[in-house]
Amino acid sequence: AWGALEDAYQAGKLRAIGVSNFEEPDLDNILESCTVKPMVNQILAHISNTPKELIKYTQDKGILVEAFSPIAHGELLKNQEVAEIAEKYGVSIPQLSIRYTLQLGLLPLPKTANPAHMKENAEVDFVISEEDMEVLKNMEQI
Q: What is the dihedral of CA 97, 101, 107, 112, to 10 degrees?
A: -10
d(CA 99, CA 33): 35
Contact call for residues 20 and 43 (beta carbons, < 8 A)? yes
Q: What is the pLDDT of residue 24?
A: 98
Q: What does the pLDDT look like over 13-45, one tens digit per residue?
A: 999 999 999 999 999 999 999 999 999 999 999
Count CB-CB contacts under 10 A for residue 66: 20
**pLDDT tens-digit map of 69-82:** 999 999 999 999 99
CB distance 76 to 48 below 8 Å = yes
